[in-house]
Chains A and B, each alone.
Chain A
Amino acid sequence: GAVVSQHPSRVICKSGTSVKIECRSLDFQATTMFWYRQFPKQSLMLMATSNEGSKATYEQGVEKDKFLINHASLTLSTLTVTSAHPEDSSFYICSARDPRTQTQYFGPGTRLLVL
C-alpha cells in the first residue's frame, strides 16, 4: 500500500518549547492530510484536517493557536506543538488519503514527551 512517513519518531522536549512534526506522503500527492492524537490505552482522536494551500480545519476542543498546521506542498504537512506542556505528551499520528484508491494511510506516529 501507499506509504506515509513521519519525522521524528520520538522527541523529548522541555516545557515551554515548541516541537515540529513532519508528515510526508511518499508515493502519492495528498491535498488533504489528517492529524490524530492518541493517549495510552485509548483510541485515536482526530485533531485537525490539513488542507494544501489553505487553513487547517480543527476539531472541536482543539486549540488552533497551540497546534499549528502547515500544509505547504502536496506531500508535506507539519504539526507544530507550541509552548508544549506535560499534558501535551502523547502519540501523534498523521494520515493521508491516496487519491488513486481513496484509501487513507497512516504514518508510523511520533511519540512526544514533554518534561
Chain B
Amino acid sequence: LAKTTQPISMDSYEGQEVNITCSHNNIATNDYITWYQQFPSQGPRFIIQGYKTKVTNEVASLFIPADRKSSTLSLPRVSLSDTAVYYCLVGPPGTGKLIFGQGTTLQVKP
C-alpha cells in the first residue's frame, strides 16, 4: 500500500481557498486517491476520490497531475466549520483496506 505524506498542519482564514497537497511517490497503477475529513470524536467523512486529472464535487476539487505522484485537495472559500483533520489515502478500489497517515490539521480562523 502506497505511503502518503502530507503537511502536519495548515492555517487559513474564512473565505479563503485552501489547497492541501499529498505526496504518494509509490502509487501503483490501479490505486485511487481518496480524501477524508474528520472532526473530533467522529468517524472520517468521505470528501472526494479520483484516479487522474481533475475531479470536482459539491464540496471540493481534487487535482492529480499526470505522473500521479501527488494530489491536491482544494477547498473553496473555507469557513470555521471546515476546521478538521484531512486525510489523503491511496489504494486499489477493490481491496478496501485503507492505511491512514497522520493527516493534515486545518485550522480556519475568523
Contacts and interface: CB of A to CB of B under 8 A. Distances in A.
A44 B44 contact: yes
A81 interface: no
Contact of A103 (B49, B87, B97): B49
B99 interface: yes
Interface residues of B, number: 21
Contacts of A54: none
Interface residues of A, number: 24
Given A32-B96, A49-B97, A104 B34 contact: yes
A50 B94 CA distance: 15
Q: Which secondary structure dominates chain B's binding surface?
A: loop
Q: Which secondary structure dominates chain A's binding surface?
A: strand
Contacts of A108: 42-43
A62 to B, nearest CB: 14
A97 B30 CA distance: 17
Given A102-B93, A102-B94, A45 B100 contact: yes
Contacts, number: 56
Interface in A23-79: 32, 34, 36, 43-46, 49
A43 B41 CA distance: 12
Given A43-B87, A91-B41, A105 B100 contact: no
Interface of B: 32, 34, 36, 41-46, 49, 87, 93-94, 96-103
Interface of A: 1, 4, 6, 32, 34, 36, 43-46, 49, 91, 93, 95, 97, 102-109, 111
20 contacts: A1-B46, A6-B43, A34-B98, A36-B100, A43-B103, A44-B44, A46-B100, A49-B97, A91-B41, A95-B43, A95-B98, A97-B96, A102-B96, A103-B34, A103-B49, A104-B98, A106-B36, A106-B44, A107-B43, A109-B41
